[in-house]
Every structure is written in structure tokens, then in C-alpha cells.
Amino acid sequence: MNRNYPYGFIAIVAICLSMFSCKKESTIQESPALKLPKDQAVSAISIPSVKNGPLGICYVEVNNADIRNVGKYTLNAGGKRLFDMAIIFAANINRNASTGKAELFFNANVANVLNNKATYIEPLQAKGIKVTLSILGNHQGMGICNLASQADAQAFAQQLSNAVTTYGLDGIDFDDEYSDYGVNGTGQPNASSFVYLVTALRQLMPTKLISFYFYGPATSRLSFNGVTVGSKIDYSWNAMYGSYSVPNVPGLPISNLGPAAIDIQATSSSTAANLATQTKNNNYGVYLYYNLPNTNVESYLSSVSNVLYNTNSLYNSGGEGTTGVNFYQNANYGGVTSNGIPKGTYTLTQLEGYGFINDWASSVRIPAGWTVTMYADNNSTGTSWVLNGNQSNFTTLSPNANDLVTSVKIQ
């Protein structure tokens, strides 16, 4: 993956090039051993929503940013995650010099994230955030739109499915950029390639997510032989940052489309807020973010969340449970979390201001040297439990405290 120029510049150039280089289609060689299923109405796989409003989808440039940053942002009201999906940007579709076939490639930074899934991927998934892998061209002439046959599409889909299984991912995202169709003697985009690819991948991954960054030659090659891409994928979103444009993917409901897209480091906060207003007013189900940095951008993201969810965003810079007490919806610090709660005595109403929910907590992280007394009833009454450190599973307490805590004292 190379991004040697500003994204907006390359996107404009790519659009201009696609007008000239993507009109001629190569001859399709269909494998007789593989049949293309006729189009069917397939219900899109949806990401479970824990907040009232559009899903937050975030691409992270892992060449220069830590993907775990996606898990550091919560909503002030309710303590729910701002982002619902983190997309590893990006793996590549390369051309094997010996065979001329498509080959999945990971640069060193992507490989580091994938090979250390326990460090980078699983902690996000434990918080309820889906983690998928973006597939991007790599200037070698090979892309998602010029696979020469159905067998070639099946073979590359198998590579993608294997990666999802090996690295415990939640799905695949397609981005039809930087393929440089035609170089190295490769073919131009054809009518069947992308349809064959998503059809094969859906068969291999019936319960995983497939999304499409609405850009490139693939946007005009969404149907072949009676089968549509929209019947095989789950989400699609606008690819032009700082703009509002509804992806034209027949078959996807508005709940699975994202017309607004922002570059966190380039789109102004006023534009981001305006795009959020349009998304909310038109009832679309996705808001797309790109380029989340390692630094705290809580204020910027609040310009979006205040519109979409009527609350500001909060950033936790140093691990949860280090500067305040964090309660979790699930055991082993999973699911939705409260924001860090400082020392004090709290009624249920006061706890709710930190995103705590009554009779909901199943685990807790506590700063070193602090003591937390949890109560089953409001106003520090009822059965109590005293904790002097992290507790990963409230069912192991005596008596069982799971989904029973209503008020707390933190000292």
C-alpha cells in the first residue's frame, strides 16, 4: 500500500484515469466447473447496534497509527462506543509474477497487526467492535475488477476467507484503488470479476461481513448474469471525504449505506457536523471516518457525535482502570464500558452520568490502591461487595454480583 500523495489528489486523478482506462472490457473466460447462483434476496448481515443512531465505521492507516485507538472513544451519555467497526487499512491484491494470478499481500505493518491479533484485534472485539480487513490494489495491474475467470475469483476469495479465519477477523472490505489496471500485461476491468468475487466470498463466509468502499471501476460493475453485488455484501459507503453522496448499490437498504465520509485529519469539524446532520435527517445507517490518529481528537469527534447521538465523545488515553473505575457490560472486560469514574460515593443517577446502567455490570477495572464497594440497591444499601483490585467476572464473587450492582462507593 502506498499513499505518497494526499488522498484527495489521488482520488481525483483516479477518477480522471478511470474515465479513459476502464471502458474496454477483456474477454470473460468462465469456468464450466463453477456455476454462478442466480440473484436472490439476501438479508444483509448487520452489526449489532448498542446506540441510537448510525454505525461508526473507521478506517485506520496502520502504517502510521495504532488501530487500538478505535476502542478509546466512548459517548459521554451511556458510555457506548463511538466506533462500531475498525477497518485495517490495508492489505493488497498483488499479481504473482510467476502465475499472473491474484495474490493476497500484507506489508510489514499490516502483518504485525494480524500476527499479533491478541494485542491489536481481540481487545477491540472484546469491546463489541468488529474488525475487518481492507483489500486494496498495489500498482501491479491486479485488482478486484480484472480477475480473468470465475475460477480465479474463487481462488482469490479462498485466500481472503482463509485470512479471516486465521486472524479471527469479522470480514473483508473491498477498495478498488491503485490497481493500475493494464500494467504488467494485465487485463482491463471486466463485467464479471467483482460479481464472481463477492459471490464466492459470500459462499465461503456466510456469517461474516463484506463491505464495499464505493469507488473505482467496481462501482459500475455491480451486476452480471442476473446477479448483483448488493445481494452479496452487507454495507457500502461513500469514498469521497468531506462529501455527501449515496452509494448506488441496488439491494442494500438505507440502514446499510453511508453517504457521509470524513477524513478526521483533513475535513473541517463544521463540514463533519453538517454531513452528520444530513445523515441523521435522511435516516442513513452508517457514518464513515478515515485517518484516526494516535493523538486525542475527542473535540473533533464530538462535533459529529453531538449531532448523531446528542452527546459528546470522550477519549481514554491510558488503559481503562488506570485513572478511574471502569465497569463493563460483560465478563472479562467485554461489551460496553462505563467512562472512568473518580473517587466518591455514587447513587444510580450519578453513575448514569458516567454511562453506567442499573443491574448491568459483569466486570470492573480498578486503579491500583483504590477500593470499590458495590451495592445491590440504590444509595449504598442492600448486599455489598468490597473489591481492592480488578474483577473479571462478577459471578465468581460471593454472593454472585453479576448484573446486580446499582450504586457504588469508590475510595
- Residues annotated as catalytic are 177
- Whether residue 263 contacts residue 241, with contact meaning beta carbons closer than 8 Å, is answered with yes
Sign, Cα dihedral of 145, 134, 298, 48: positive
Which conformational region is residue 404 in: left (phi greater than 0), alpha (psi within -120 to 50 degrees), or beta? alpha
DSSP lists the bridge partners of residue 104 as 93
- Maximal CA-CA distance, the chain: 76
At 82, list the grid cell.
463511538
* Terminal Cα distance for the chain, rounded: 50
DSSP at 189:
P
How far does Cα 408 stand from its chain's mean position? 34
- The DSSP secondary structure of 19-66, one letter per residue, reads HHHSSS-PPPB--TT---PPP---PPP-PPP-SSSPEEEEEEETTTS-
Contacts of 310 (CB under 8 A, 6+ apart): 77
Using DSSP's 3-state secondary structure scheme, residue 131 falls into strand
Sign, Cα dihedral of 319, 339, 132, 208: positive
Distance CA 247, CA 211 (A): 12
